Amino acid sequence: MGKYENLAKEIVKNVGGKENINGLTHCITRLRFRLKDESKAKDEVLKNMEGVVTVMHSAGQYQVVIGNHVPMVFEEVCKVADISIDKGSEVDAHKGAFNKLIDIISGCFQPFLGALAAAGMIKGFNALFVFLGLYAQTDGAYILLNSIGDAIFYFMPIIIGYTSANKFKLNPFVGMIIGAALCYPNIQKSTLAAGEPLMTLFGGTFAESPVYIKIFGIPFLAQDYTSSVVPVIFIVWFASKLQKLGKKFIPEMLQNFFVPVFVLLISLPLGFLVIGPIVSIATSLVGEGFGSLYELSPIICGILLGFFWQVLVIFGLHWGLIPLAMMNLGILGYDTILTGTFGASFAQTAVVIAMYFKLKDKKQKALCLPAIVSGICGVTEPAIYGFSLPKKTPFIYSMIGGAVGGAIMGAMNVKSYTMGGLGIFGVVNYINTANNDASGMFASFICIAVSMAVGFVLTYFLWKDNSVVEQDSKKKLEMSL
């Protein structure tokens, strides 16, 4: 019997049984169910279950918050509910447009976030070791570690080709081939630009594009797709529609070979000639829009992101910002969108530290310690759902601390150069991996200190443990009766 088998059985039972489950994924701390009928799920039973932090309804998903060990629980739940771990889940046609978007984004990015964080940490620490003088950029150790850390970012279309294929019910290996084709060196704009352009389209506009080759006589608007995140999702979605069409008209005995041929020969040429350029131009516009907003006032951007980040996380809406940050990293080589959120987890952790000193209940005080450790590592759900959110005002104090931290990061014009570890391990994200400038890392330490100071001071001096007052009042009332 697995360590979490009993917990998994109880979770499946109380979400309405395996017959009520349409799909299941997980992120860093949550099981994300798509249920046929959410009214069959027993919220209060799940919330009070040992091993479950809380339950959330968000973005068309039924989310059971578990904690850092969610991958192990996920595996057990899949076994109990007879769900294939690699099985994709179709987008529910009855969801609203916004919920569909969040569901697609989370479904495409959640599966590899752990590997992405690991690669980012390796890349960041490699830059740190060069900064500390342990070795030079020309050393074999640097080249090896950089290749390990950089691989997932460079070949991002292949990774997302696989996850988005699972999401859209496309053959996952066809999805990977689509991603690999987008990474093929000879088709990149940086490679083709070595030659003289045949012509220039849309000259004088934001979409100005030199044409170096033609495909079937059609001008090819070349793009650099390595490290890109959005074009492959659209092409894979289109390919999934072609696959359904192919299975209707190609005899079953021939489908194993000819359906992939049909899909690839249509989706990739149209992807390169039409879908890819349009999506790339659109995403560049979105990136420039956020860049203009940041240039208008980095401090205000930092305040807004730092203040509202934890609210977005609670409802799972932060997924809308993560692809934009990855887009910036691929196009610009740095990101400023998520930088303003860095202090939020530390402010939340400091709030729980202050609550530890104010709480009278010994059981609650004991539970504070693992929540604090988890928060320092960047996972704040135990702190949010177990302590600050139920008490309301401490959660607001953590939002204020996050806003102050965001303002500091904005005022110091800090940029992240990789998507690495969370919490304290995220400080290396702000080392410029191109020139090993560590000024951003030092700014992040200031952000941590100030965010924690604001969260701690506000909670320690302004918050009172009303639960103790209520218990005392209840005892006095019972004694008087």
Q: Which helix (H) or strand (E) holds 408?
A: helix 393-411
In a domain, 449, yes or no: yes
* pTM to 2 decimal places: 0.77
Tell me which DSSP letter residue 320 carries.
G
Q: Are residues 216 and 262 in the same domain?
A: yes
In a domain, 306, yes or no: yes
Distance CA 465, CA 445 (A): 31
Domain boundary residue among 87, 121, 141?
A: 87
Identity of the amino acid at 260: P
- The confidence score (pLDDT) of residue 468 equals 53
Tokens for 460? 């320690």
In a domain, 116, yes or no: no
- The confidence score (pLDDT) of residue 385 equals 86
In the chain, how many domains are there?
3
Tokens for 441? 């890392």
Q: Are residues 308 and 427 in the same domain?
A: yes
| Cα atoms found within 13 Å of the Cα of residue 320, Cβ hemisphere only | 14
Distance spanning both ends of the chain, measured CA to CA: 51
Q: Are residues 462 and 356 in the same domain?
A: yes
- The confidence score (pLDDT) of residue 481 equals 42
Angle at 110 between CA 129 and CA 158, to 5 degrees: 75
* Range of the structural domain that residue 204 is part of: 155-293
Tell me which DSSP letter residue 353 carries.
H
- The confidence score (pLDDT) of residue 95 equals 61
- The confidence score (pLDDT) of residue 469 equals 47
Domain boundary residue among 259, 293, 327?
A: 293
**434 exposure class (CB count in 10 Å sphere: 0-12, 13-18, 19+):** exposed
Q: Are residues 48 and 159 in the same domain?
A: no
Residue 59 phi, psi dihedral angles, 5° rounding: 55, 35
Q: Are residues 253 and 312 in the same domain?
A: no
In a domain, 423, yes or no: yes
Q: Are residues 163 and 288 in the same domain?
A: yes
Q: Are residues 168 and 245 in the same domain?
A: yes
> Mean pLDDT of successive 10-residue segments in the chain (481 residues)?
84 92 83 89 90 82 85 90 65 63 80 86 91 92 93 94 94 97 94 90 78 91 91 96 95 92 96 93 80 88 94 80 85 89 96 94 86 90 88 95 97 92 91 90 97 97 76 47 42
Domain boundary residue among 53, 71, 87?
A: 87
If we measure between CA atoms, which residue out of 382, 364, 363 comes closest to residue 373?
382
Residue 363: Cβ within 10 Å count: 7
3-state secondary structure 148-170: HHHHHHHCHHHHHHHHHHHHCCC
Tell me the helix, strand and coil percentages in the chain, rounded to 5: 65, 5, 25
In a domain, 395, yes or no: yes
Q: Do 32 and 105 form a contact (C-beta atoms < 8 A)?
A: no
Distance CA 402, CA 383 (A): 15
Q: Are residues 247 and 221 in the same domain?
A: yes
Q: Are residues 325 and 277 in the same domain?
A: no
If we measure between CA atoms, which residue out of 74, 61, 68, 70 comes closest to residue 12?
74
Q: Of how many residues is the chain composed?
A: 481
In a domain, 138, yes or no: no
CA dihedral 2, 27, 332, 414 (to 10 degrees): -100
- The confidence score (pLDDT) of residue 205 equals 74
